[in-house]
Amino acid sequence: MTSNTSPDAVDPAVREELARLRDSIDNIDAAVVHMLAERFKCTQQVGHLKARHQLPPADPAREARQIARLRTLAENAKLDPAFAEKFLNFIIAEVIRHHESIAVVTTDGTAPAADASGPGE
């Protein structure tokens, strides 16, 4: 939806409120990125532990528990649980990809095809 209202015609109080809200959104986005970075640091360690002990990169039972848990958290937070599940599935897929890369390096010493410095379990 487009508007014919020029930015100069918008009430200054509305512009100020919009700027305040956008600043909050920017802060939240930064926090999400930092939280994901911390999560992925931990999951990299999980990937190395799994590889050293010849454990499979994926753990479908844990993944199912995590999805159910996240769906409940989302519902309680008034967030669409389907969206939360899609988000977690995206992260899990990336984790498994990285765990597979770590396992290749650990078992045969070759470099993985993709960078394994990103997310993990």
3-state secondary structure the chain: CCCCCCHHHCCHHHHHHHHHHHHHHHHHHHHHHHHHHHHHHHHHHHHHHHHHCCCCCCCHHHHHHHHHHHHHHHHHCCCCHHHHHHHHHHHHHHHHHHHHHHHHHHHHCCCCCCCCCCCCC
CA 95 from chain centre, in angstroms, equals: 10
Residue 99 pLDDT > 80, yes or no?
A: yes
**Which distant-in-sequence residues (6+ apart) come within 8 Å of 88 by Cβ?**
66, 67, 70
Q: What's the Cα-to-Cα distance from 77 to each of 9, 16, 44, 74, 80, rounded to whole Å?
A: 37, 28, 28, 5, 9
| pLDDT of the residue at 82 | 98
Q: Give the residue-averaged pLDDT of 25-45.
A: 97
| pLDDT of the residue at 106 | 82
Confidence category of residue 112, pLDDT binned at 50, 70, 90: very low
116 against 99, higher pLDDT: 99
Asked if residues 120 and 40 have their Cβ atoms less than 8 Å apart, the reply is: yes
